Amino acid sequence: MKLFFLLWILPVTLGDTHVTCIYSEECMLPCKSKNLDIIHWYMNDKPVHSYFYNKDQLDHQHQNYKGRTSLLSESEIKNGNVSLLIKNINLQDEGRYRCYAADDKTSDEHYVVVTVEAPAKSVDITLKNDTVICTTSGVYPEPKVLWSSDPPADQEPLNTVSQTEDHLFTVTSQLKVDVSDTYTYDCSITTTSSRYTASLKQQAASELKNEFIFKCPVTKDFHYTLTFNFSTIILRYDSKTSKEEITEQWRDKVTFHPEDGTIKLSNLNQEQMGTYTCESTTAQNKYITQATVQSNGGGIAIIIGIIAGIIIIIIAATVIGVIRKKLSKNSKNKPRPKSESECAHKLMDLKNGTLKDEK
């Protein structure tokens, strides 16, 4: 019967503690007390977790929390740590929780205000014609979209926001840009306490001489994964495991330096000229960098072709001029044709025997 009277002991109320929990993960609601005979956790009027007689008592637990709550070990509880662990946090878990602890002499209460956040875990960024498109999903609360671009954009982005049945947000942001040979576009999705940035960068085209150095943005402060491709994946790297995989046909052409993200290309053939893409990803960033590699003889070949064409035209014009000159000279030396009257007189002379031989 003593336990029932404990519920009516006047509690001592302290200030609220604020905790931000991450959607679908575990979250610890902190609470400490010296009164350890009975422990109750409530969210508003919902019984969340109860502990007395040195064990969990969950017969009256609200169905929303079934199988998702636990206290710490017995040794932690004896040391006064009566914090509550909630698994698989969802948006319904937001609210003000009451931690009630009592013994046969006194009791106390602590309040924990829980805010749930679903930060962006990935952001996709693409360039289509003259529009950069940035998308993400499964975010809560409704995020803000921040853009940065070089060259600067003249127009404001167009944002489209929708919610799923779980009340998570999907966001698409479109930015009109003036596409140039080189550019950098950054799209950041921000919530209350988190930010995820996706970056799309186009480097200047490079002519391959003996080798080409490609710089992928990486950071030493965070675990990152990296992929490098040219129509198909050439290289994969995981900084957490230091595992590097290079496709067999590229092993004599690619050298990777993970400490600074440098990739060296060499011994490329004509079929391997084109656009290469590097994507490096951390928990809060995605960097997509592109660069076009072309043969260093490309420009020279064009110049040589133009010069050869001009030479051919000059030679042709010269030959035609010479031919015309010869034809003109021959026409001057050729005897002038006789008229019909002259021919008639000569014929009469032949008949009369008076025509002399012409030499």
Strand order of the sheet with strand 262-266? 211-215, 262-266, 254-257
pLDDT band for position 11 (cuts 50, 70, 90): very low
pLDDT tens track for 267-324: 898 899 999 999 999 999 999 999 988 876 544 444 445 555 566 677 766 766 666 6
Same fold yes or no, 2-117 and 119-201: yes
Architecture of the domain made up of 119-201: Sandwich (2.60)
Backbone dihedral region for residue 184 (phi beyond 0: left; psi -120 to 50: alpha; all else: beta): beta
Length of the chain: 359
d(CA 259, CA 219): 8
Please report the pLDDT score of residue 331 as a whole number. Answer: 55
d(CA 45, CA 100): 13
What pLDDT, on the 0 to 100 scale, is given for residue 294? Answer: 84
CB hemisphere CA count around 219 (13 angstroms): 11
**Average pLDDT across the chain, whole number:** 85
Residue 243 confidence class, pLDDT cut points 50, 70, 90: very high
Percent of the chain topping pLDDT 70: 78
Domain boundaries, the chain: 2-117, 119-201
Residue 103 has pLDDT above 50, yes or no: yes
Q: Give residue-wise pLDDT tens across range 183-231.
A: 999 999 999 889 999 999 998 877 777 788 888 989 877 899 999 999 8
According to CATH, what is the number of the domain 2-117? 2.60.40.10
pLDDT in tens, 228-239: 999 899 999 999
Strands 12-13 and 55-56: unpaired
> Does the reported pTM lie above 0.85?
no
The contacts found for 285-288 with CB under 8 angstroms, 24 or more apart, are: 285/196, 285/197, 285/198, 285/199, 285/219, 285/222, 286/122, 286/123, 286/125, 286/196, 286/197, 286/198, 286/199, 287/199, 287/201, 287/216, 287/217, 288/125, 288/198, 288/199, 288/200, 288/201
